[in-house]
Amino acid sequence: MSDRSIKPYLKISFTRLRQIIRRIPFTLCMVIILLLVAWGTQSYFQELTRTWVTRFGFAPRDFWFFRWERLILTALVTNGGSIFWFAFAMVAFTSGVTEWMSGSWRAILTFWGVHLVTLMLESLMFLLPLHQLGFIQARSLFFSRDVGPSAGYMGSLGYIATFIPRPWRWVVFGSILVFLIISLFLPPRPGETQAVKLSADMAHLLAFPLGWVTSYLFGRRSNS
């Protein structure tokens, strides 16, 4: 095949690539940041060290010490190893689909909005009162640091689920919700503390329906 016959195909490919980049800039930005942070912390192939968790992680008590930058930083770091690649894939898929269907602003609102609201609800409405009442488990959760973008991508997953036609929409929503509830009672994985696991599971249980609710509060908009 001659160079002249190849050029039209290359032109079409580059044009299509530019269209994709223009349609999902937020998703591309997020996955690039996740990759860069994983490379810098070496968490793309091994578990994140405790030093990095302490530096970037968020604990509910951080609200009261005005460490609000941790609300953002915690979503850009994962616990590393296979967890990093799972989180990376989930962010790419859920934010990518949300952005492709409904635009960049909706993808940003869904991911970051649900992420921030989830952490605030979990910290202020649940853990803080229980901590003040003296519940030992809540006290442990109140001081435990964790990292990861899971609240954001679970919110995006909840939003995407609202595009599934009825009645399957409710079947999917109910199935995922039941799975998240069951996860609360499963034992932690090796190397994971019970407090960190419970905190993450609670965040997932809050974030998924929050993402679902945003589609009804702000409306669903399709770019297709």
Hey, where are the domains in the chain? 3-217
Cα–Cα distance for residue pair 88/31, rounded to 1 Å = 7
Of 26, 32, 219, 161, nearest to 105 by C-alpha is 26
CA torsion angle 54 72 32 45 (round to 10): 20
Superfamily of domain 3-217: Rhomboid-like (1.20.1540.10)
What integer pLDDT is reported at residue 75 of this predicted model?
Answer: 97
* Phi, psi for residue 139 in degrees, rounded to 5: -65, -40
Q: Are 58 and 74 in contact (CB under 8 A)?
A: yes
| Rg, Å, the chain Cα set | 19
DSSP label at residue 188? P
Cα–Cα distance for residue pair 163/175, rounded to 1 Å = 16
Q: What is the pLDDT along the chain (224 residues), one digit of tens a residue?
A: 445 555 555 555 667 778 888 899 999 999 999 999 999 999 999 999 999 999 999 988 888 788 899 999 999 999 999 999 999 999 999 999 999 999 999 999 999 999 999 998 887 766 666 656 656 666 677 778 899 999 999 999 999 999 999 999 999 999 999 999 999 999 988 877 887 888 899 999 999 999 999 988 877 666 65
Coil, strand, or helix at residue 65?
helix
Of 110, 46, 123, nearest to 78 by C-alpha is 46
Cα–Cα distance for residue pair 141/184, rounded to 1 Å = 14
